[in-house]
Structure 1
Amino acid sequence: MFIYNVTFKVSWNAHDKWLEWLRSYHIPAIMEYNSFSAHKLLKLHNLDESDGATYALQLFADSKADYNRYIELHANEVATIEQRFWGMEVFSFSTLMEIVD
């Protein structure tokens, strides 16, 4: 199993609206692509939060092929939508992890 992890740094100015958008629109839209079987949203702690909160969205893919399909077909569109909605209020980066044990 693979975990596509997207980390977000969200300004306090946009925080509440962004969190609602993420839960009600963004995550459901990603899950409709059928590349991921589950997801978890986590809030990171013990970080400097003076300029905003940090979250990690973990999307679970049953295979590398499922992840690759999402990246090839949908990732750019998802990033464009995020940028259009939130601009400089949200910074994100992604990593791919594989569950080993």
Structure 2
Amino acid sequence: MIIYNVTSNIHASIHDQWLAWIKEHIPHVLATGHFTEAKLTKVLVHDPEGSVTYSVQYRAKSREALESYYKNDADKLRDVGFQIFGDKVLSFRTELEVIDEYSVKFN
């Protein structure tokens, strides 16, 4: 299982606008059919300049699905955000391989 992680640092001046936008953007990424789910998380760090960092983790159906996303959809979807927010959002992407998963079950 592969997780496609996008970490974004958001300038304070556009934070609320970006947060509303990303909540609408994530369903568009899922609609490509390459991912099974997504999680939006806030990175808990304090930035003295007021910027906020978020991570979106998309669970890919397979390595092939992620490669297809890169080939067919990624550039187009990335460009949408860049056209709206420009350099006020700095993002980097990582791929994570899930080795094992654990959970606690309560009775």
Q: Identity over aligned residues, as a percent?
A: 33
TM-score (norm 1): 0.93
Q: Name the residue aligned to 1:70.
A: 69
Q: Name the residue aligned to 1:2.
A: 2
Change (3 A) 1:99 1:49: farther
5+ residue gaps in structure 1? none
- Count the aligned residue pairs: 100
TM-score (norm 2): 0.88
Larger relative CO (CA 8 A, sep 6+): 1 or 2?
1
Larger gyration radius, structure 1 or structure 2 = 2
Q: What CA distance in whole angstroms lies between the structure 1 residues aligned with 2:89 and 2:21?
A: 12
Q: Name the residue aligned to 2:55.
A: 56
What is the alpha-carbon root mean square deviation over aligned residues?
1.1
- What secondary structure sits across from 1:80 in the alignment? helix
After TM superposition, give the deviation of residue 69 of structure 1 in Å: 0.7
Runs ≥4 residues deviating over 3 A? none
Q: Name the residue aligned to 1:22.
A: 22
5+ residue gaps in structure 2? 101-107
